[in-house]
Amino acid sequence: MGLDKILSISGKPGLYELTAQSRGGFIVKSIPDGKKMVVNIRHNVSLLNEIAIYTYTEEVPLGDIFQKIYEKEDGGEAINHKSSKNELEAYFAEVLPEYDEDRVYASDMKKLFQWYNLLIKNGFTDFTEKEEEENSKPEDKSEEE
């Protein structure tokens, strides 16, 4: 399961795994407790692989940041999301030193660390983006007679 199957739903705590699509929305499973629920298309839903953090030069995908934290902590949990603003900013600067301080807020960092720790606690450790190799499909070569 990659970050392309992990959802954040505004107004609902935690993260959810996308299990299926229905006519009116999605069927998701809560990552912490495994409860299934239907999410209406009116909810604001974000896939984690579509979220990025601003730096001064580019936007860094969330998966890359999670991978850096994972390497920094040797697969363990990161700083607690309830830590002070200064502690969160200092830790985040170690992970992503070039982050845009004017556009990345402490609330963003809290959410990022909370999500990372939730994923680690539930055995999710693969944050690398799976590249779809559409261009490397075998070509149909027809022989001319």
pLDDT in tens, 49-71: 999 999 999 999 999 999 999 99
Question: How confident is the model over 93-97, as a mean pLDDT?
Answer: 96
How far is the C-alpha of 13 from the C-alpha of 131, rounded, in Å? Answer: 29
Per-residue confidence at 96, pLDDT binned at 50, 70, 90? Answer: very high
The predicted pLDDT at position 113 comes to 96
Q: What is the pTM (predicted TM-score) of this model?
A: 0.84
The predicted pLDDT at position 142 comes to 42
What is the distance of C-alpha 74 from the center of its chain? 18
Q: Would the CATH topology of 3-47 be identical to that of 51-121?
A: no
Q: Is the pLDDT of residue 132 over 60?
A: no
Domain 3-47, CATH: 2.30.30
Domain boundaries, the chain: 3-47, 51-121
User: If you search the block for the tokens 């392309």, which residue do you land on?
Assistant: 4
pLDDT in tens, 105-131: 999 999 999 999 999 999 988 887 654
DSSP string across 3-62: GGGEEEETTS-S-EEEEEEETTEEEEEETTT--EEEEETTS-EEEGGG-EEEBSS-EEEH
Domain 51-121, CATH: 1.10.10.1650
